[in-house]
Amino acid sequence: MRVAASSSDWIDSRSSLKIMISVSKVSMRYGAKVLFDEVSTGFIPGKRYGLTGPNGAGKSTFMKLLTGELDPQKGTVVRPRKLGVLSQDQFAFDKYRVIDAVIMGNRRLWAALEEREIIYAKHEMTDADGMKLGELEGIVGEEDGYTAETDAAILLQGLDIPDEMHERKMSEIPGGQKMRVLLAQAIFGHPQALLLDEPTNHLDLDSIHWLKNFLNQYEGVLIVISHDRHFLNGICTHIADIDYETIITYTGTYDDMVVAKTQIRSQIESQNAQREKKIDQLNEFIARFAAGTRSSQVQSRRKEVERLQVTELARSNIQRPFLKFEQKRPSGKHILEIEGVTKSYGEAKVISAFTASVIRGEKIALMGRNGSGKTTLVNALLANSPTVSESELRKTSGYDGPFVDGGKVIWGHEASVGYFAQDHKALIEPGIKVLEWLHQWDPAASTEEIRGLLGMMLFPRDDADKRTDILSGGEAARLLFCKLMLQKPNVLVLDEPTNHLDLESINAINISLQRYPGTVLLVTHDEDLIDEVATRIWHFEGTHEITDFKGAYGEYEAVLA
């Protein structure tokens, strides 16, 4: 079942080497858990690989092996000299200007620029200094150093980092902007291979579209980890899937891989079932005639049993959560009236006199660039909701001013709102057990009912006693979904619910929201989620205006085209 590059791709290094990154007989395990065992595969220039697998399968570990951050416990990894890697440490470059942080992506150029600066700072230069300067200027020329700031600025503009930020220190810009700068850093300097771990985190749809277009034109090796199915389908020519304690490379998009993987597994299971049936028949013959006169026939059947050994199937790492959003009682038909809502922060106007009427069962996607006001509107609506407290909004927003400057928000009859905040961990009280925290949202629920909900969201039985303050981001998100399933509200307000979740969990949310009979307000940059769930679009234009389109995302795109 292990699929590596074909033998025709493994060309001798003395000729034109096609494989840019190669992995040979690599194994990694942690205690009894085997991530992958004796894996050999290759990554070829011009191909774009999605690295997939459920949380805990070993994606980030494998990526660190490719970058050289980790050494394999067994086997070898060969990589090119010029590697572009998305840094996950947002604070590593805090003392540098934004523009310099990008240029540092070309390590050879940055080292030459720093050394050149030291020599130029000397009061007197020796002949050796002059010779060294000539060598350094040669490197700067080879690496396009004379246009480096212009090239870096173009990348930053594509990722929606305004010109006025380019001269600021990295420590002075928000976390979401930092991630974009680090993405520009990885791309800068024409690397031979790009290794990107969750590059769409903190990116809005416009920036994701820009990145998708850039990567589709990239000519080197691309290996990307992403939990955005639409993004993977839009860029990948191959999927390297970590499962069954190995890495299997499939040709095509993520959706193609899911189909092929299911078919291959089903085919092997079917073949195994047929072999097991045949083996049972042979063993029955052997048992009947082993002591009789048909010893030659018995012997031939024993050999056939050995030949028909069933293919051993390693267990899949994939775990699929099950979400089912229900409502205790339906709301009235007119669930929400918004009349001239306005909100500013100081002199910056964010929302200007927004008016809308929401009918029960509508599923509204809030779209727009980061900072355009989506969460601001969510907070304005929830500030007057019947079931979300002001203290919850204060915790998740960190804001102590009024959530609405003008206008009215009127919730309809029997409205019951369930809220998933972008900063969702702030909604979970620290220092208590998971079971205890969840139980408070429905004291009438039995312990077994709550354990059942936790099991549906992939919490092992012992995790019911886990303390809430040590939950990972993904665990905290899954716990909040348990809360929403327990509360059974008739309105769901979800602000970036897919952060920290794997593809299987995001797919489960997608399906459950499609089936949910209540009303949904959804802030997300996941294009598949918008396309498959939303029946209405509120598009934040960035000019404190909101376009209200009554129709699906595909219809809205057609109008814009």
Q: Model confidence over 233-261: pLDDT tens digits?
A: 999 999 999 887 789 899 999 999 988 88
Q: Which two tokens stand for residue 454?
A: 């936790």
Q: What CATH number is given for 334-560 in this structure? A: 3.40.50.300
Q: What pLDDT was estimated at residue 4?
A: 34
| Interatomic CA distance for residues 554 and 560, integer angstroms | 10
> 65-82 in b/e burial notation, b at 16+ Cβ within 10 A?
bbbeeeebeebebebeeb
Average of pLDDT values for 169-186?
88
Topology match between the domains 67-251 and 334-560: yes
CB 55 within 8 A of CB 502: yes
Q: How confident is the model at residue 311 (pLDDT cuts 50, 70, 90)?
A: low
Domain extents in the chain: 67-251, 257-307, 334-560
pLDDT at 16 over 50: no
Contacts of 357 (CB under 8 A, 6+ apart): 334, 336, 337, 338
Q: How confident is the model at residue 89 (pLDDT cuts 50, 70, 90)?
A: confident
Q: Which residues lie across from 74 on neighbouring strands?
A: 27
Q: What pLDDT was estimated at residue 229?
A: 92
Closest of 218, 258, 213, 219 to residue 234, by C-alpha? 213
CB 480 within 8 A of CB 428: yes
pLDDT at 6 over 50: no
Structure letter (DSSP) for residue 169: B
**pTM here?**
0.78
Average of pLDDT values for 68-72?
93
Q: Higher-confidence residue: 474 or 463? A: 463
* CATH number 3.40.50.12780 is the correct assignment for the domain at 67-251: no
Q: Higher-confidence residue: 10 or 452? A: 452
pLDDT at 13 over 50: no
| Interatomic CA distance for residues 102 and 187, integer angstroms | 9
CA angle centred on 526, ends 521 and 529, rounded to 5°: 60
- Torsion-angle region of 254 (φ positive above 0: left; ψ -120 to 50: alpha; else: beta): alpha
Q: With pLDDT > 70 as the criterion, what percentage of the chain qualifies?
A: 93
Q: What pLDDT was estimated at residue 292?
A: 67
Q: What pLDDT was estimated at residue 425?
A: 82
pLDDT at 216 over 70: yes
- pLDDT tens digits for 405-439? 999 999 999 999 999 998 888 889 999 999 999 99
| Interatomic CA distance for residues 340 and 354, integer angstroms | 5
CB 412 within 8 A of CB 335: yes
Q: Given strand 519-523, what is the order of strands in its sheet?
A: 417-420, 491-495, 519-523, 363-368, 536-540, 546-549
Average of pLDDT values for 103-123?
92
